[in-house]
Chains A and B, each alone.
Chain A
Amino acid sequence: MSTLHTVNKSPYERSSAATAFAHVLEGDAVLMIEDGVLAARKGGAFAKQLTAAKGVEVYALGPDLEARGIKAGDLVEGVKVVGYDGFVDLAATHTRVCSWL
């Protein structure tokens, strides 16, 4: 029993990403999509918060990263990249999806 949290807004625009990470539990996963992927860029002010949550896998949606010119090498260490198929798998594997808008 675990939750897939999705974050679709940039942490620099809105507090949704911060709020999401404040509500995760061990075993949960966080998937950043749309502008939410901006959180995954290394060196950014939000980067530390991504890896702060223990036992939480962090993902970023590949197509959204590519759209915004963010390459695999630009990512915070430990962030896994998935496609829409991976998004579907994550939604199926975890017990529920909680969207932080």
Chain B
Amino acid sequence: MKFAVVVNEGPYTHQASDSALNFVRAALEKGHEIFRVFFYHDGVNNGTRYTVPPQDDRNLQRLWSEIGLTKNVDLVVCIAAAQRRGILDANEAKRQGKDGDNIAPGFRISGLGQLIEAGIQADRLVVFGD
């Protein structure tokens, strides 16, 4: 099965990101394909590389980045939601005249069309939110 996963909330404040991560891992373990993980609303906050969570707890950004890079999972941060909340890649920072960017490795910023495309291309779409 091809799964599309949507994460509507940021790390730590809600369990959504953890639940999505655990779901994605379980799906991959079972041999399914994760077509895309789309981060929307505050979910875009999972994609900043500047978090420094306490050492004795999970590092959600790092866990997502790892899945993105080592399992070749497409992690997409919605550009509209990202602009509202200050998540930028180098391109966006330049375009918007900001003095830095913060996107985490393994994530890419793209449009809402990627969410619709995921809905069209995947066999199942699962939403994690508040």
* Chains A, B in direct contact (C-beta < 8 Å): yes
Q: Which residues of A line the B interface, CB within 8 A?
A: 6, 8-9, 33-35, 63, 83-85, 87-89, 91-92, 96-97, 99, 101
Contact A96 B30, CB 8 Å, known A88-B23, A101-B8: no
Asked whether, in the complex, the Cβ of B22 is within 8 Å of the Cβ of A63, the reply is: yes
- Per-residue contact bits, chain B 118-130, to A (CB 8 Å; 1 contact, 0 not): 0000011111111
Nearest 5 CB-CB pairings of A with B: A84-B26, A99-B127, A101-B129, A34-B15, A88-B27
Q: Which of B8, B16, B26, B123 contacts A87 (CB 8 A)?
A: B26
Q: Could you say which residues of chain A place their CB within 8 Å of the CB of B125? A: 96-97
Q: Which of B19, B29, B32, B128 contacts A92 (CB 8 A)?
A: B32
Q: Could you say which residues of chain A place their CB within 8 Å of the CB of B126? A: 6, 91, 97, 99
Q: Could you say which residues of chain A place their CB within 8 Å of the CB of B129? A: 8, 99, 101
Q: Could you say which residues of chain B place their CB within 8 Å of the CB of A6? A: 126
Asked whether, in the complex, the Cβ of A101 is within 8 Å of the Cβ of B32, the reply is: no
The total of Cβ contacts below 8 Å across the A-B interface reads: 52
Apart from the given pairs A91-B124, A101-B8, 11 other A-B contacts in the complex at a CB distance below 8 Å:
A8-B15, A8-B129, A88-B3, A91-B126, A92-B1, A92-B123, A92-B124, A97-B124, A99-B126, A99-B128, A99-B129
Q: Could you say which residues of chain B place their CB within 8 Å of the CB of A87? A: 23, 26
Q: How many residues of B contact A (CB 8 A)?
A: 22
- Asked if B25 is at the interface (CB within 8 A of a chain A CB), the reply is yes
Smallest distance from the beta carbon of B48 to chain A beta carbons, Å?
Answer: 23
- Residue on B with the closest CB to A99? B127
